[in-house]
Structure 1
Amino acid sequence: MKKSWIHQGTVLIRIGKHHLAFLRAYLEGLDIGDISQRYLETAVEPDSDLRIAKTTLKWIRDQLMVVAKRSSKVPNPRVILINPDKLVVANQKHLPTLEEFREERDPYEMYGESELIEMFQEEFGGISGKVDRKSTRNERLRKKQIDALFYFEKLLGVAPTESDSLHGWLDPVLADRLQVAQIENIGQLIAFVNSHGYRWWRLVPRIGEKAAAQIIAWLNTESVQESIKIRVGKRSSVKSSALKTLEPAEVRAKQFGMVPIEYLMLPDQFSGVAGKNRNPSNWTNIVDDYDAIHKWLKIRTKPNSHTWRNYRKEAERFLLWAILEKQIPLSSVTGDECSDYILFLSLLDSDPSSPPGWPFKMPCSAWTAPRFLERSDPKWRPFEGKLTNASIHQAVTIVRSLFSWLLDVGYLQHNPWKSVPLTKKSSRQTVTRAFSFYEWNYLLNFLENQERDSKYDRMRFILIFLHGTGLRLSEIVNARISDIKRVQYVQSGLKPDYELVVVGKGNIEGNVTLSDKCLNELDRYLHKRGLENRFQCPENTYLIGRHRESAMRKGKSILDEDTEVVVDIADDKLQSSAIYQSLKQFFKKAILPLKEDIRVAEENQNFEYAFSLREMAKRIESGSTHWLRHTCATHMLASGVSIQTMQSNLRHKSVDTTSVYINQESSVKNAEINAAMDLLYKR
C-alpha cells in the first residue's frame, strides 16, 4: 500500500526548488533545524527532536534517487546520500612549524637543518600525508555533490504555475479532496484560501489543519512566490488572534477599490489634494481627504470604542460612495451628491438584483455582504443590507458632523450638507425589536430543554442577566467583578443593594441596578466556570468568560469551544463577536421546533396558526443582544417599573427616549375594538 503524506512527512509528491535549497544547505553543514525553518513547508509545528526535518530530508533523497534511476544525466547521484559529518577531517594532531619543532626538540641547536627535517618527517610525515589525502578526497566528494545537485536542479527545477494541476504537486489523496471542493489548480487554491481565510480547510472534506498548514507553507516558499504572482494573504496564514497584533499593511496590501479605509489607497485624482471645495488658504496641517478623516476620528472619540467604530463606519461609507459611485474626491462633493447619498441609503437592499428604477452606476450587490466578515476579508463590504430610517438618520448626522468639523478647521470652503434638508426620524416610534412575553417564555423553556453543558450555563446567564439589566453588548463584554458596587443607604438596617458601574455611549459612566435574581445567576455562573462567588473570586474577573477547563494553554489565544471564536485566556475575556454569535446560534437553534410545528399546522390546514408561528420564528431568528435591551425595557415598564427608574437604568438622556417603550398593547386595543364591533352589530 502506498504511503500517505503523513508517513512521508510532506504533502508534496514533487521536489521543488526549496527542497533542493534545503538539501544544498544541509550538505554544506548548516544546522538542519535552522534550514528546515527557512526552506521547508513541513516546518509548521514544533520539531524539537528534528524528527519532521529528518523525515523530510529522507523523502527528498528518496525522490532524487527515483529521478536518478529515470535519467542517466545525473553524475554520481548517490553522493547526495553522504552526510556532511562524514566529510569532516578530524584534527588528529597539531602540526608544528619547523621553527616550533626546533625550539621544542633542539633548543641548543645541536642538529643541522637537514637532520632536523629528517626528524620532523619521521614524526609527522605520515600524519600529514594522511590528512592531506583525506581532505583531498572529501573536497572531491563535495564537488561531486554540488555537480549532482546542479543536474537535479536542471531536471526538477521547473517552477509551479497558477494553471498547474494540484495532482502534479500534492499528495493524490489531498488533491482528490480539494477537487471535490472544485479546486483544480494552484491558482484556484490560492483564490479559495484568500477568500475564506485561515480556516479555509474546514470547507474542504477531510483535510485537517496540519495538512492545510503545510500547503500554505509551500505556497509561501520563496521559490513558489517567485513563479506565481498572486500571494496567499496574511489573514489566510495567521490566526485571527495574531492578526490583531499586526499593522494593516502586514495583513493586506493597500489598494484602490471597495476596501476598508485602512486598506484604501487613493490615487491623486481621488485623494482630495486638488478638491474643488478645498480652502485655498488652508492653515491646517491636513494633507488630503484620507488624512482629514483620520484626524477627525482622532479628536472625536476614544480609538476603537463603539462610538469611534460607528464614526469610522459612516465616514468610510461616504468616502467609498464618493470615489467609487460619483468618482470624485470627498472634498469635491456638492449638495447634489449629498442628496443622492441619502437616496442611495434609502434604496439600498441586500438583494443581489438592484431594485427597479435603481438610479446608480454600481449595483446593490457591490455594496453589501453578510455581517461580521473580517475587515481584511476580500468579501468585506461597507453595508449589510437595507437600512432603517433611524440608521439613515444616524449615518447622515455623523457625516454632517464630519463636514462641519472640516469647515470649522479651515480645510473646506463651505459645507455641502448645509443645503440638504435634515433627515427626520419617524415621528411615531414603536419598539418592534423586543420579544413578547410569550416569545420570551418560549426561549427560556427551550433553553431548559438543552443539555447542561458550558453552552447552557453561558446562555442562561446571558439571557437572564441582560433581560434584567438592559446592558449593551459592549458594556457586558467589559464588565468585571470590581465594577459591582454596594449601595450605601443613610438609613440603617436595610438589606444591601448592588449596582453595576458601566461606561456607556459617549464614554459616560452610569449605574445599573442589579436585582437579586441577576446576582444569584451571576454567582451560579461563576461557580459553573470553576470560580468562587463574586465576593471571593478575583476582582478583575469578567462577568462573562470561558469555563476554566477549556483553558488548554494559559496565556495564549485559543479557539473557544462554544462559539469557535478566538478568545484570550490571559484575562479570560470573550470578544463581543463571541457573545453576539453564540446568541445568534441559540436563536437559530430555537426556531427548529417551530419549523416542525409550522409543518404540522399546515398539514392540518390550520393556516392562521402556521402564519403566527412563522412570524414568531422570523422574530426570534432576527434577535440579537440589543433585542434583549429592548425586551428588558418593555417588560419592566409593562410590569410596573416607573419610567424614571428605567430611564436611569438604561441611562437615557431624555425620558422621551424611554417613553417609546411604553405603548398600549395591541391586544388591549384589539379587545376594545372587537368589543365595540360586537356591540354595534348585535343591535
Structure 2
Amino acid sequence: MSEKLDLQRQYTAKDFAALRAFVQRLPPAVIARTYFNEDDDPHAATPGAMERYLRDMLATLVDMAIEYGSPVLADHLKASIKKHGSARLTAASLKMVEEAARLAVSQPAAAHGIGMWFRPMVARYLKARGVATIGDLVAYCNARGGSWWRSVPRVGPGRARVIIAWLRRHEHSLGLRVDDDVDLADPLAAPDQDIIAVGGPRSALVPLERMALRQALNGSTGLNRSAVFPYIAANNDLEAIRAWLHLYRDRPKTLRAYMKEAERFLLWSVTVRGKALSSLLVDDCEAYKDFLAMPSPAFVGTRVARSSPRWRPFASDEPSAESQLYAVRVLRAAFTWLVDMRYLAGNPWKGVRDPVTIRREGEIQIERALTPKLWADIRAHARNQSAPAANQRWRTVHALMLLMGDSGLRREEAAGARRERLQPFPSDDGMEVWALTIVGKRKRERTVPVSMETIAALRAHWRDRGDDFDAPAPAGPLLAPLVIPKTKAAQRKHGGQTERQPYRPDTFNEVIDWLRKRLLDELENLSPATYSQLEQMTPHAFRHTFGTLAAANDVPIDVVQRVLGHRSIQTTSIYLQAEKRRMMNEVSAMFGRRNALEAATVSEATDSSPADKPGC
C-alpha cells in the first residue's frame, strides 16, 4: 500500500478534474486536449495512453477507498468490481471515493512547471510571458502587483483571483509568499472620485490614470477592432492601452516613458481628432506626426504634479526631432502588440514613415561627461568638505558620486546596490579593489569594480547612519537616508520596516542638484566652459565620466562594456573619444600657432612703418 500512497501523492488537481470527466464518459482525446499538454504530460500524447493513465489512476484510488473507506462504500465497490470487472462509478460515487481515500493532491513546489498545475491554455500564455515555473509566477505577480494579469492574454480578473488564492493556499509548500498588494486595485487607474470623462474638443486634459473615455469615443465599437476572439480582457481602448503598459510594470523608467506617449496620443485622438483610438487610420497617424512637431498651446504647460489641474501632456511646444521619432516608434510598437493580441485588426502606424532626424556621431550624450580636471577638482573638494564631523550631507554626496563615477553605475543601480553583495576582490597586480554585484537594466546581473576611495566614503556614510560597514554579516542598502522626513508619505514608506530603506532613484537628482549649486558657489577660477558644464551636471554625468576616462586610459573596450552593462559593444565604442579629443586639441593648437604668427606679422609690419622707409 505504500507504493499506492506514493502514487496517489503524485496526482494533481488537474488529474482529478480529468478523472471526473472520464467518469462522465468524455472521450480520452477530448480530456487530453482540455486538461493536459503533451509537452508536460507524456501520458496525454495519444488517446490510448490517456485512457490507460486514467484507468490506472481510478484503480489505485478505488483500492485505497476499499482499504480506508467505510464498510458500506467498500462493499459497494467490491460488488461493482465483481460484476463488471472494474468499479463503475458515477460522479457522486467518485466524490465519495476521493473523500474516503482522503485524496489530497500532491503539494506544489516552486520548481514545478506551470503545465503541472494549470490547464494548457493558461500555461501556454504564462510561458509566453516568461513564466515557466510556479516560482516564476509568484515573482511575476509580486513584480506587477494586483494588475499582473492584464499583461497575460486570456487571464481576466476572475481567473486571476483564483490563481492568487491557489498560490496563497500553498504558500507553505512553495516557500514563497504572494505580496499583500497583489490584491490592490489597478495602479494605472486612480480612485473613482478622481476619474474625469474625456472626449470632445472642450474636454479637460488629464493623465491616463485619471482618464475615462466617453461612450461615443471609447473604442468599444471602433472601426479597427478585430472580429476574432481577443487575447486580452479589454472592452475599450483605454483598457487595451493599460493592458499594454502593464507589460512594463517591472521597468519603471520604461513604463513612465511609454505611458507619456500613450496618453498624449489617446488625448489627441479623442479631443483633437474626435475619433476613437481603435478607429484611427493612416492619415490620422500622419496628422498626429505633424502635431508632434508643433503641439497646440492647449496641450503645452509647465511641469507640475500629475494630480494638478494645470497638468498638460507636453512640457515644450517644440519637441526635438529625436523625441518625435521616439514617440512614433513607441506607438507603432504598441499598435503591433494590440494587433498581436487580436484587439485591433491592423496597425495603421505601419503606413507612417519615421520623422527625419540628424544622424549624430553618438547616440549617448557623452558631452555631459566631466573633463578629467573638473572630475579631479570635484573629488578633491568633496573629500575636503566631508572631513568635518558635522558635514554628514557632504559625506552622503561624496559616497554617491564616487559609487557612480568610479563604477559606472546608473541611478537605479546605485539605489539598489546592497552591502551583502559587495566583497573584497584579490587583484593580480596587488592593488586592493572591491567587487559589487548589481542587477542592472533589463534585469541583467553584473559585477563592477569599486575603488578603495569609494569604500572609504561608504564607510563614513555608514558611520553617520549608525551602521557597521565591517560587521561580520553586514546587510542593507549602500546608500540610504540618514533621517526619515516627517511627511506622511515618508512615514508610511519607512514605518514598520525591519531594515533601513534605500534612496529612491529620483532622489539622487535632488542630491546632485544640491551638489551642483555648492560647487558653482565654492569652486574657484572656473572657466566659462567649465561653469557651463557644471550647470548641466546630472547623476548620469558621473557614469559618462567613467566611460570616457576608462576609454582615454586605454582600458579594453570589452572591459568597459561589461562594467557599464551595455548590450552592444557599438554603444560602448562611443566612449572611445581619444581620437576626437586629440583632433580637437591638435586643431586648437594649430589655431593658436596661426594666431601667434598673425600677431607677429602685424607687429613686424607696425615696426616697419612707411614713414621709416627710404624715399618716402
TM-score by length of 1: 0.52
CA contact (8 A) 1:315 1:399 kept: yes
Pairwise CA distance, 1:526: 1.3
Go from structure 1 to structure 2 and tell me whether the alpha carbon gap of 1:630 and 1:317 turns closer, same or farther (over 3 Å shift): farther
Go from structure 1 to structure 2 and tell me whether the alpha carbon gap of 1:425 and 1:410 turns closer, same or farther (over 3 Å shift): farther
Map 1:12-23; keep pairs closer than 5 Å.
Answer: none
Q: Secondary structure at the match of 2:367?
A: coil
Q: Does 1:432 align with 2:367?
A: yes
Map 1:59-458; keep pairs closer than 5 Å.
Answer: 248-249=190-191, 252-256=194-198, 257-284=204-231, 285-298=233-246, 300-303=247-250, 305-347=252-294, 362-363=296-297, 366-370=299-303, 373-385=304-316, 387-423=319-355, 426-429=359-362, 431-444=366-379, 447=382, 448-449=384-385, 452-458=390-396
CA contact (8 A) 2:225 2:278 kept: yes
The residue aligned with 1:544 is 479
CA distance in 2, matches of 1:379, 1:476: 33
TM-score by length of 2: 0.57
Pairwise CA distance, 1:522: 1.8
Question: Where in structure 1 are there 5+ consecutive unaligned residues?
Answer: 1-242, 348-359, 560-564, 598-608
Q: Secondary structure at the match of 1:498?
A: strand
Pairwise CA distance, 1:332: 2.4
1:189-238 CA-partner distances (Å, limit 9, x unpaired): xxxxxxxxxxxxxxxxxxxxxxxxxxxxxxxxxxxxxxxxxxxxxxxxxx
Pairwise CA distance, 1:622: 2.5
Aligned residues: 398
CA distance in 2, matches of 1:545, 1:251: 36
Pairwise CA distance, 1:545: 0.7
1:132-189 CA-partner distances (Å, limit 9, x unpaired): xxxxxxxxxxxxxxxxxxxxxxxxxxxxxxxxxxxxxxxxxxxxxxxxxxxxxxxxxx
1:624-670 CA-partner distances (Å, limit 9, x unpaired): 21222212211222233222111111111111111112221164143
CA distance in 1, matches of 2:495, 2:593: 61
Go from structure 1 to structure 2 and tell me whether the alpha carbon gap of 1:377 and 1:438 turns closer, same or farther (over 3 Å shift): farther
1:367-397 CA-partner distances (Å, limit 9, x unpaired): 3322xx4332333333333544444433332
Pairwise CA distance, 1:459: 0.9
1:481-536 CA-partner distances (Å, limit 9, x unpaired): 123255589x9x97775322222222222222222222222222212222112454
Go from structure 1 to structure 2 and tell me whether the alpha carbon gap of 1:523 and 1:346 turns closer, same or farther (over 3 Å shift): farther
Q: Secondary structure at the match of 2:447?
A: strand
1:320-347 CA-partner distances (Å, limit 9, x unpaired): 2322333322222333333343444344
Q: Percent identity?
A: 25
Go from structure 1 to structure 2 and tell me whether the alpha carbon gap of 1:557 and 1:619 turns closer, same or farther (over 3 Å shift): same
CA distance in 2, matches of 1:435, 1:420: 40
Q: 1:510 aligns with which of 433, 446, 450?
A: 446
CA distance in 1, matches of 2:276, 2:249: 27
1:552-590 CA-partner distances (Å, limit 9, x unpaired): 89x98648xxxxx98668333222232221212322343
Pairwise CA distance, 1:262: 0.9
The residue aligned with 2:587 is 670
Pairwise CA distance, 1:244: 12
CA distance in 2, matches of 1:672, 1:621: 27
CA contact (8 A) 1:556 1:568 kept: no
The residue aligned with 1:119 is none
CA distance in 1, matches of 2:451, 2:469: 16
CA contact (8 A) 2:196 2:212 kept: yes
Q: 2:456 aligns with which of 508, 511, 520?
A: 520
Match for 2:402: what amino acid? I
CA distance in 1, matches of 2:514, 2:596: 48
Question: Where in structure 2 are there 5+ consecutive unaligned residues?
Answer: 1-184, 199-203, 602-616
Pairwise CA distance, 1:475: 1.3
Across the aligned residues of Structure 1 and Structure 2, the Cα RMSD in angstroms comes to 3.7
Pairwise CA distance, 1:305: 2.8
CA distance in 1, matches of 2:274, 2:352: 20
Go from structure 1 to structure 2 and tell me whether the alpha carbon gap of 1:427 and 1:244 turns closer, same or farther (over 3 Å shift): same
The residue aligned with 2:114 is none
Match for 1:260: what amino acid? P
Pairwise CA distance, 1:402: 0.4
The residue aligned with 1:462 is 400
Q: 1:634 aligns with which of 530, 548, 551?
A: 548
CA distance in 2, matches of 1:281, 1:518: 59
Go from structure 1 to structure 2 and tell me whether the alpha carbon gap of 1:680 and 1:246 turns closer, same or farther (over 3 Å shift): closer
